[in-house]
């Protein structure tokens, strides 16, 4: 067979220049090493391979390599090939550049909400599921595929969500997304195409979600919130609103579940106005005082878009989330997503499908539920002993708690914590810009630290509380 550059090993982009092939090749290699494009230890192609790539005689490359070895630019050892020699090149100071400021290290402890214990990711079980899934995967699974996601995952999710969250789902009404934000982006495009101009949001929530909706051209009036959850009865008076984004099972960040009467009021509003409820079920599996509150979507699957994610139950780095759509939205979301929008990789989708179908997902959730409940109980006990004046709320579910502070102390506590290497978030951080000032409080993410750091993080928290 005719030799071709495509049939050999390592590639090297090099352009000989100057007089003569050998000297031009040598100067090009020196320049590549001098500028750092070829770093110390980099293995170069064999003389035969590079000669074929450049269309020159093999002896020309071999002679160039030998000369550069003699000069100290390269090294050559039997069985190890030709490599760039180790060199110590002093960095040139840029006289125009200001001196680099000292880099501050990150916090020692992190109690910000929004993340699970990443150290608890079930690596061994995930690897087993991945092996089984890839072994059984059809060849077409590695093609471009259905923009809605792999049918294996959509079918398994339909069964799981019906069983565990009370969601009415069918595989053809599920769309797999690269995270919750991706799903919200698609829904924002659909709402704009429907000429919706306002999407109500809860008066406390993530500003990233509010900003995303605003960037899509939607106004985001805030829905007031109290001890029974969002005051959904007020939706009827918000005339321009065509949709509402809510966290009904465990309001983020206050931790309040939406009262049954208010759940019904939200659905009544959606039915009477042809509005849509966007249900963010971000941590619905983690409830400790009784069975998890069922999804709001179960009350009316044609008026509620259910959004779920593996970010809290497994890990946000998986970038796996899903939407269960009303029938009338399936085509519109598909159109918004298009053929080339983000979709998580098929191997990860197939692995999650196998992970759920095998029962490993249920086992993991139950295990983490016990772990997080134990941490919650330790938090409550420590506060009762060392900060008895601090009231704790939002602890019936989820991975965070709300600690009530004396009026006017929230910012000072956060600053004191930062000085001690403890990262905290205050409740004010999540308030809608149009919502009135609320109480002083901390939102403590007790799910974030690994087990080895939990005791230290808890101790640091108690030291900074007033």
- Pairwise CA distance, residues 218 & 106, whole Å: 36
Element (H, E) at 332: helix 330-337
Q: Going by DSSP bridges, is the β-strand pair 225-226/222-223 parallel, antiparallel, or unpaired?
A: unpaired
Contact by Cβ (8 Å): 69, 82 = yes
| pLDDT for residue 105 | 60
Spatial separation of the C-alpha atoms in residues 440 and 437, rounded to whole Å: 9
The CATH code that applies to domain 109-115+363-464 is 3.90.1150.10
Rg (C-alpha) for the chain, rounded Å, is 29
- Report helix, strand or coil for 74: strand
* Model pLDDT, residue 98: 52
Cis peptide before 371 (omega within 30 of 0): no
CA 90 to chain centroid, in Å, comes to: 39
Strand runs labelled E in 212-344: 222-223, 225-226, 229-230, 241-246, 276-280, 304-309, 321-324
Residue whose token pair is 């998890």: 292
Q: Are 258 and 246 in contact (CB under 8 A)?
A: yes
Q: Are 242 and 249 in contact (CB under 8 A)?
A: no
Phi and psi torsions of 276, nearest 5°: -125, 140
Walk along the chain (466 residues) and give the pLDDT tens digit of each residue. Answer: 344 444 445 678 888 876 678 888 888 899 889 988 899 989 989 888 888 888 889 999 999 999 998 888 999 888 778 999 987 654 444 445 454 444 456 789 999 999 999 999 999 999 999 999 999 999 999 998 888 999 999 999 999 999 999 999 999 999 999 999 999 999 999 999 999 999 999 999 999 999 999 999 999 999 999 999 999 999 999 999 999 999 999 999 999 999 999 999 999 999 999 999 999 999 988 988 777 778 999 999 999 999 999 999 999 999 999 999 999 999 999 888 886 677 899 999 999 999 999 999 999 999 999 999 999 999 999 999 999 999 999 999 999 999 999 999 999 999 999 998 999 999 999 999 999 999 999 999 999 999 999 999 999 999 999 9
Q: What is the DSSP letter of 103?
A: P
| CATH of the domain spanning 121-359 | 3.40.640.10
Domain boundaries, the chain: 9-84, 109-115+363-464, 121-359
Q: What are 158's two structure tokens?
A: 């339909």
At the topology level, CATH places domain 9-84 in: Arc Repressor Mutant, subunit A (1.10.10)
Query: Residue 266 and residue 258: Cα distance in Å, rounded?
Result: 10
Cβ neighbours of residue 99 closer than 8 Å, sequence gap 6 or more: none
Nearest to 395 by CA among 374, 376, 378: 376
Q: What is the pLDDT of residue 91?
A: 47
Task: Determine how β-strand 276-280 pairs with β-strand 229-230.
Answer: unpaired
């Amino acid at each position: 067979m005719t030799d071709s550059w495509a049939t050999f090993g390592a590639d090297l982009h090099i352009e000989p220049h100057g007089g003569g092939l050998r000297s031009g090749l040598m100067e090009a290699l020196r320049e590549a090493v001098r500028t750092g494009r070829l770093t110390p230890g980099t293995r170069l192609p064999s003389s035969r391979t590079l000669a074929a790539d450049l269309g020159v005689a093999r002896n020309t490359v071999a002679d160039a390599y030998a000369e550069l070895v003699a000069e100290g630019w390269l090294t050559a050892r039997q069985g190890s090939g030709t490599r760039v020699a180790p060199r110590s090149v002093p960095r040139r100071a840029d006289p125009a550049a200001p001196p680099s400021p000292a880099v501050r290290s990150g916090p020692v402890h992190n109690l910000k909400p929004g993340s699970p214990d990443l150290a608890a990711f079930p690596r061994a079980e995930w690897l087993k599921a991945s092996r089984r899934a890839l072994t059984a995967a059809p060849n077409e699974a590695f093609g471009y595929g259905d923009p809605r996601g792999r049918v294996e995952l959509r079918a398994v999710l339909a069964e799981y969500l019906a069983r565990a969250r009370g969601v009415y789902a069918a595989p053809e009404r599920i769309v797999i997304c690269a995270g919750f934000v991706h799903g919200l982006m698609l829904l924002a495009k659909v709402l704009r195409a429907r000429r919706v101009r306002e999407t109500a949001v809860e008066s406390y929530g993530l500003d990233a979600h509010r900003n995303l909706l605003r960037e899509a051209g939607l106004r985001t009036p805030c829905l007031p919130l109290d001890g029974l959850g969002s005051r959904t009865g007020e939706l009827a008076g918000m005339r321009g609103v065509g949709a509402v984004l809510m966290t009904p099972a465990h309001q983020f960040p206050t931790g309040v579940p939406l009262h049954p009467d208010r759940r019904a009021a939200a659905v009544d509003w959606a039915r009477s106005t042809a509005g849509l409820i966007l249900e963010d079920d971000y941590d619905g599996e983690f409830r400790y005082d009784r069975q998890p509150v069922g999804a709001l979507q179960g009350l009316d699957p044609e008026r509620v878009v259910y959004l779920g994610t593996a970010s809290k139950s497994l890990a946000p780095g998986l970038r796996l989330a899903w939407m269960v759509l009303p029938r009338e939205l399936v085509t519109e979301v598909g159109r918004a997503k298009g053929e080339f929008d983000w979709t998580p990789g098929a191997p990860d989708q197939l692995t999650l499908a196998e992970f759920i179908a095998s029962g490993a997902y249920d086992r993991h959730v139950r295990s983490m539920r016990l772990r997080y409940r134990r941490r919650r109980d330790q938090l409550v006990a420590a506060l009762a002993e060392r900060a008895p004046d601090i009231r704790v709320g939002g602890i019936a579910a989820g991975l965070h708690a709300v600690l009530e502070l004396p009026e006017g102390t929230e910012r000072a506590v956060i600053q004191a914590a930062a000085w001690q290497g403890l990262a905290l978030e205050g409740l004010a951080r999540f308030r809608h810009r149009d919502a009135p000032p609320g109480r002083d409080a901390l939102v403590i993410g007790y799910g974030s630290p690994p087990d080895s750091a939990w005791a230290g993080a808890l101790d640091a928290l108690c030291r900074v509380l007033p």
